[in-house]
């Protein structure tokens, strides 16, 4: 191996990000033998086509992992968050997923997720300071 160096890259290029993500994905596939994965994304759009929210997730290893769920302030309280999550769960369920997982903070939406059948399976106290990060799961079968 040639001499290597570590660079601080606060604005990482898309190419570099892809290399890192693909490298980890390739490792995970090699170790588990689970090569099938799928992006599961839904976008909430307004009348003019503007983005009012959405859900970004990945389906791999029999689980749906929701990394982002957001609804704009103007669209909140109308059931869109629940609908986005239900759409993603139905999509995953139709493809044989056994469960769904996501994370939220103490200042975000833990009660919302619990109302929809998610349960806390891990907690990281003090992240951020004075708060907590919760890891939740829901069985889909």
The DSSP string of 21-49 is HHHHHHHHHHHH----EEEEEEEEE-TTS
Cα(132)–Cα(73) distance, rounded to whole angstroms? 23
For the stretch 36-90, pLDDT in tens is: 999 999 999 999 999 999 999 999 999 999 999 999 999 999 999 999 999 999 9
pLDDT score, position 15: 96
Candidate from 2-11, 72-81, 94-103 with smallest mean pLDDT: 2-11
- Contacts made by residues 91-94, CB under 8 angstroms, sequence distance 24+: 91/40, 91/59, 91/64, 92/40, 92/57, 92/59, 92/63, 92/64, 92/140, 93/140, 93/141
Where in the chain are the domains?
Answer: 14-139
Confidence of residue 2 (pLDDT cuts 50, 70, 90): confident
- Evaluate if residue 102 carries a pLDDT over 80: yes
Q: Looking at domain 14-139, what is its CATH homologous superfamily?
A: Gcn5-related N-acetyltransferase (GNAT) (3.40.630.30)
């Amino acid at each position: 191996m040639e001499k290597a160096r570590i660079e601080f890259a606060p604005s990482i290029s898309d190419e570099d990000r892809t290399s890192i993500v693909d490298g980890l994905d390739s490792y995970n596939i090699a170790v588990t033998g689970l090569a099938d994965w799928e992006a599961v994304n839904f976008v909430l759009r307004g009348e003019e086509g503007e983005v009012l929210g959405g859900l970004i997730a990945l389906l791999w290893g029999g689980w749906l992992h929701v990394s982002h769920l957001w609804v704009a302030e103007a669209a909140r309280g109308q059931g869109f968050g629940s609908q986005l999550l239900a759409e993603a769960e139905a999509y995953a369920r139709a493809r044989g997923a056994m469960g769904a997982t996501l994370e939220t903070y103490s200042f975000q939406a833990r009660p919302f997720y619990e109302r929809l059948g998610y349960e806390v399976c891990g907690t990281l106290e003090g992240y951020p300071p004075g708060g907590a990060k919760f890891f939740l799961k829901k069985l889909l079968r």
